[in-house]
Amino acid sequence: MEVLEAVLLGVPVTLLVTVAALALGAVLAVPLAAARRSRVVPLRWLGRVVIDVVRGIPPVVWLFLIFFGLGRDLIRLEPIEAGIIGLGVISAGYLAEIYRGGLSAVHAGQWEAASALGMGGTDTLVRVVAPQAFRVSLPAVTTYAISLLKDSTIVSAIGVSEILFRATQSARSTGAGLTPFFVAAAVYILLSAPLAWLSRGLDARLRARVAR
């Protein structure tokens, strides 16, 4: 019972880190995806390099770079801030590729039709293409959110007291052995199940509203 209480105290922290990182990533990913599809070649390359670097370095290494690297010398960061920024940057890399996939999934005829109706480039993107791209990418985004929920365990490495941090702590201090880990695993499964269910439901509904 004590173990359960200890682990549950970590749930709000895990949710905060996941949601904040996802929100940060969702915003940062927009310019990245735009750069990736830009007509300007150097910009396209820059976008690609940034995404490859963000995704090529392991998440924990990013957290250490931000928390110990930047946090020691340049700006003081709390562990949870460093965790959110780190996971947010990584999310931006992955979400940018998801957005890009969504944009290219929208049929070229949609651009042509909008232009035949006399709509400008920005207008077409904002009012015709982006809403459909959003519907196409949402299932991929929820899948990513589930994996981010699990990846958020790594912020325990810089001392954020989320679910895993508390489970390990109670395993070491109370001698409760395996129980805290089973509880932690069960909590992660319980948290990700509704997301998975939502993703499956949304997928079918949203796909029906995309022109092909």
Partner 1 sequence: MTGLLTSWGEWLPRLLEGLVTSVELTAASLLLGIPLGLVLALLSSSRTRAVRWAAIALVEIGRGTPALVMLQFVYYGLPSAGLSLTAFVSAVAALSLTTAGYTSEILRGGLQAVPAGETEAAGALGMSHRDTLRFVVVPQGVRIALPSLMGFAILIFQATSLTFTISVVELLSQAYSIGAATFRYLDVLVLAGLLYLAVTIPAGLLTNRTERRLSRHL
**Among candidate residues 75, 78, 24, 74, the one with its CA nearest the CA of residue 54:** 24
Query: What does each C-alpha distance from 8 to 1, 25, 82 come to in angstroms?
Result: 11, 26, 22
Q: Which is nearer to partner 1, 68 or 197 (CB)?
A: 68
CB of 10 to partner 1, least distance (A): 12
CB of 45 to partner 1, least distance (A): 14
Q: Which is nearer to partner 1, 75 or 117 (CB)?
A: 75
Among 4, 34, 60, 202, binds partner 1 (CB under 8 A): 60
Q: Which is nearer to partner 1, 54 or 133 (CB)?
A: 54
Return the residues of window 145-204 that contact partner 1 according to CB under 8 A. 150-151, 153-154, 156-157, 164, 167-168, 171-172, 175, 177-178, 180-181, 184-185, 188-189, 192
75 vs 85: CA distance, rounded Å? 13
Single-letter amino acid code for the residue at 76: R
CB of 187 to partner 1, least distance (A): 10
Segment near partner 1 (CB under 8 A); pick from 22-30, 70-78, 81-89, 110-118: 70-78
If one counts every other C-beta atom within 10 angstroms of the C-beta of residue 53, the result is 10
> Total residues at the site for partner 1 (CB under 8 A)?
38
CB-based contact 154:59 (threshold 8 Å): yes
CB of 100 to partner 1, least distance (A): 15
Which pair of structure tokens corresponds to residue 65? 């770079």
The upper half-sphere exposure of residue 176, i.e. CA atoms within 13 Å in the direction of its Cβ, equals 19
179 vs 175: CA distance, rounded Å? 10
CB-based contact 72:61 (threshold 8 Å): no
Among 2, 5, 9, 72, binds partner 1 (CB under 8 A): 72
Report which secondary-structure segment, H or E, holds 145.
Answer: helix 130-151
Q: Which three-class secondary structure state does DSSP give residue 57?
A: coil
Among 64, 125, 195, 198, binds partner 1 (CB under 8 A): 64
Contact residues: partner 1, CB under 8 A: 52-53, 55-62, 64-65, 68-70, 72-73, 150-151, 153-154, 156-157, 164, 167-168, 171-172, 175, 177-178, 180-181, 184-185, 188-189, 192
